[in-house]
Amino acid sequence: FRFWGFEVYEAVLRVGPTFQPMAFDRHPLALSLTYARSLSGVDMARRSMVEIERQSPLEPDLRQRWLDQLIALFPDVSAGDTLLGAYQPGQGLQMWRFDDRWQRLGESQDMELARRFFGIWLSSQTSQPAMRNALLGLKTG
């Protein structure tokens, strides 16, 4: 993913053999992001909320509750750091960080937050359709 020509991260989606791209939220999956630059966890949480609301607007109280959960999950990152979000239908999301080993950062059992968080990259309302197509193995055009 690039923003204004600057590389921000490399994304890799891991799914099982029965995965159906148009029903991503019905399947377990893991999305890893390896960062090319330092970013604030708070800034990443705020940007995530902007992208989540592309899918559909939120009531202010829910927006704040989800933002607080994401801020609690996202650490500051440096170039070379990898974060991994794991999604399990019916269970929510877990966030992991890799430096020299995997460390669990936390989880959210809010299924709607989990679905919409992964929808940042995988839903048809994504702001990055080319990345979505690449992650899901879909043809463009």
Q: pLDDT tens, 63-118?
A: 999 999 999 999 999 999 999 999 999 999 999 999 888 999 999 999 999 999 99
Residue recorded with tokens 């927006």: 63
In this prediction, residue 2 carries a pLDDT of 58
Annotate 64-87 with DSSP letters as a single string: HHHHHHHHHHPPPB-TT-EEEEEE
Indicate the helix (H) or strand (E) that contains 118. Answer: helix 111-122
> Do 114 and 92 contact (CB within 8 A), yes or no?
yes
Calculate mean pLDDT across residues 114-138.
95
Please tell me the distance from the alpha carbon of residue 11 to that of residue 141, in angstroms, as a whole number: 21
Burial class (CB in 10 A: 0-12, 13-18, 19+), 100: exposed
Tokens found for residue 118: 């992964």
Q: What is the pTM of this model?
A: 0.93
Is the confidence at residue 44, as pLDDT, over 70?
yes
In this prediction, residue 7 carries a pLDDT of 83
Compute, in degrees rounded to 10, the torsion defined by CA atoms 130, 31, 95, 34. Answer: -80
Calculate what percentage of the chain has a pLDDT beyond 90.
89
In this prediction, residue 42 carries a pLDDT of 98
